[in-house]
Amino acid sequence: MENQQPETSFDFRDLGLSEATLSAIRAKGFETPSPIQRLAIPVLLQSNKDIIAQAQTGTGKTAAFGLPIMDQLEPNGKVQALMLAPTRELALQVSDEIISFKGERQLSIATIYGGASISEQLRRLKKGVDIVVGTPGRIIDHISRGSLNLDGIRWFILDEADEMLNMGFIDDIEEIFKQTPDNRRVMLFSATIPDRIAKLSKKYMRDVEFLKVEAKQLTTDLTDQIYFEVNQADRFDALTRIIDVEPEFYGLVFCRTKVTTDEVVSKLLERGYEADGLHGDLTQIAREKILWRFRNKLINILVATDVAARGIDIVDLTHVINYSLPQDFDAYVHRIGRTGRAGKEGTAITFISPNEYRQLMQMQRVIKTQIRKETLPKAADVVAVKQNRIKDELAEIIELNTYNEYLPLAQEIIGEYSDEVALAALIRLAFKNELDVKNYAEIRTFSVDKRGTARLFISLGKFDGMTPKDLVVFLKKHTKLTDSKIDDVKVMDAFSFATVPFEDAEDALRSLNALRGKGDKPLAEISKKDRKGGGSGGGGDFAPKRGGGRDFAPRRGDSSRYRKKY
């Protein structure tokens, strides 16, 4: 049975969630469920079916499975829910989101992934946990050690299943399936449903309901899209710098929750900006009043949640700022579409923290757009803009001859002080600390460039006649990678490694693995530094382990077959 996303608008209360869960949702400031949440939550609450949910990354999938599990789970110190994610970053993201749904519940949640202290993980598991979020490799390690018992699992969730397939985790996932009881419910979330995942579902899932959210691919060519890497604590100062350096800022600032919306508006008003906010708690009269002020430019900054901003039709916005990444990618498209209207160019700015870089890259691929990185204005840039603005405004006052009533006071002041001292003192009086660089908060910068690379394991090596130069040529021929994107190439006897940008890794894996026939093991995978591997690959490179603990590399006698095929 297949369900498509519903057309009507819902509230979380309409989905059958308990008051305790609704309270946790209100505390987060969420207003309405996303399409995948509207589809999945009722099924997970009202039936015992397994589900396959096809939805793009960034559509609110974690809440789609996390909220109903929270509603039904009774803490007992035994693992009742296992949530698999392809990377440690995503595992941490899922874990943080699940923790935010706890509310007053006394649940214990452990995040299990490679590269972290295994002794600390052992301590947590021994103490007793209700939910485990982890990556397949480290989950297998704990199962092998006997430190993770899955006999009591009620829910088994595979998040981004297609990505786990691309990364070569399918054998690990099957092994984990074998360790779970027959009566567990399986929830498989994936952007695509390739044949291998379909086969996996037929083998291990029962009474399946298929849920699908259609991906929308819309952008606007008149919107300049950029992003800034900003730590969460520095976002407000980053926002004010962008507003300050723009000569005529007139824009929408989008936040994910009502709580953040109120906080941003309050801080803007404290600093003297003309701003107001829209969210779901406002009455229609209050909403209309705020929109009237914004349309008539009595305020130039409107902070809003996605739901509250529906129906706003203002054609001359200069900026849309994503103070928070949206809950789903469709929301991003609708946000930025509010600039670039009526033939006018607009700018869409997105703030991201280090752990959001991966989501941003996936969003670019899903909606088929380019969002370029820029550097935030420095404090000196802001001061220079303000100084020039003062000079421009002063020239306008002189040109309009609107200063006559102040001449007597000016003559009196000049009679006591020199012209330069008097003018400097008046500027200091009027602008206080605005023109002093020292009074601007330091915005800490970071770069995700190192985090934004992936180490590819390729099952071709010296036995296949490969040299580092040959491998680069091979990668360029069969993928969209260029010389500048291929780095740190190592060719071993039976396999090789190459480092590529994170945003290109998934496409490269798909292209390389498409060279293999159906049923063959992947040609390329992401190298797992946290998992033991054989071969001669020193320097921290490890070949992914395959079923039964054997190193995945072609046998010496297979070399001619690989050379002919590739």
pLDDT per residue, tens digit, the chain (566 aa), is 455 444 444 578 888 888 888 888 887 777 778 888 999 999 999 999 999 998 766 677 888 999 999 889 888 889 999 999 987 777 888 888 898 888 778 889 999 988 788 889 999 999 999 999 999 989 999 999 999 999 999 999 999 888 787 677 888 899 999 999 989 999 998 877 878 888 888 889 989 999 987 655 444 556 789 999 988 889 999 999 999 998 889 999 999 888 999 999 999 999 889 999 988 788 878 888 998 899 889 999 999 987 667 656 676 789 999 998 887 777 787 788 777 554 557 899 999 987 788 788 878 877 778 888 888 888 888 888 888 888 888 898 888 888 889 899 988 888 888 888 988 888 888 887 788 787 787 787 666 554 467 788 898 988 888 998 899 999 999 998 988 888 888 888 888 999 888 778 878 888 898 887 766 778 888 775 423 333 333 334 555 544 433 333 333 333 333 333 34
Query: Which residues of the chain are in CATH 3.40.50.300 domains?
Result: 2-212, 223-376
CA-wise closest residue to 330 among 63, 60, 545, 53? 60
- Alpha helices for 101-169 (secondary structure H): 118-127, 136-145, 161-166
d(C-alpha 254, C-alpha 484), whole Å: 36
Can you say whether the dihedral through the CA atoms of 453, 457, 462, 465 is positive or negative?
negative
What was the pLDDT predicted at 199? Answer: 86
CA-wise closest residue to 336 among 249, 252, 213? 252
What was the pLDDT predicted at 534? Answer: 34
| SS3 at position 489 | strand
Residue 564's alpha-carbon distances to 69, 467, 474, 510, 561, in angstroms, are 51, 16, 13, 20, 5
Q: How many residues does the chain have?
A: 566
For 453-565, CATH gives 3.30.70.330
Question: Does the predicted model carry a pTM greater than 0.75?
Answer: no
What was the pLDDT predicted at 514? Answer: 85
Residue 33's alpha-carbon distances to 10, 50, 153, 218, 497, in angstroms, are 7, 21, 27, 21, 42
CA-wise closest residue to 443 among 349, 350, 353? 353
CA-wise closest residue to 448 among 368, 367, 356? 356
What was the pLDDT predicted at 544? Answer: 52
d(C-alpha 346, C-alpha 130), whole Å: 48
- Contact between residue 365 and residue 244 where contact means Cβ atoms under 8 Å apart: no
CATH fold of 2-212 reads: Rossmann fold (3.40.50)
Question: What H or E segment, with its residue span, contains residue 167?
Answer: none
Tell how far CA 256 is from the center of its chain: 13
The contacts of residue 185 (CB under 8 Å, 6+ apart) are 44, 48, 49, 50, 154, 155, 156
- Contact between residue 259 and residue 29 where contact means Cβ atoms under 8 Å apart: yes
DSSP letter (8 states) at residue 349: E
What was the pLDDT predicted at 54? Answer: 86
CB atoms within 10 A of CB 514: 10
| SS3 at position 494 | coil
| SS3 at position 367 | helix
d(C-alpha 544, C-alpha 529), whole Å: 9
Residue 11's alpha-carbon distances to 22, 124, 230, in angstroms, are 10, 36, 32
DSSP letter (8 states) at residue 462: G
Among 3.10.310.10, 3.40.50.300, 3.30.70.360, 3.40.630.30, what is the CATH number of 223-376?
Answer: 3.40.50.300
d(C-alpha 520, C-alpha 168), whole Å: 11
CB atoms within 10 A of CB 300: 18
Cα dihedral angle (229, 232, 234, 238), rounded to 10 degrees?
50
CA-wise closest residue to 188 among 73, 82, 80? 82
- Contact between residue 331 and residue 363 where contact means Cβ atoms under 8 Å apart: no
What was the pLDDT predicted at 385? Answer: 86
Tell how far CA 45 is from the center of its chain: 27
Residue 30: burial class (beta carbons within 10 Å; 0-12, 13-18, 19+): buried
| Angle at 393 (CA atoms; ends 389, 397), nearest 5 degrees | 170
| SS3 at position 532 | coil
d(C-alpha 339, C-alpha 252), whole Å: 9
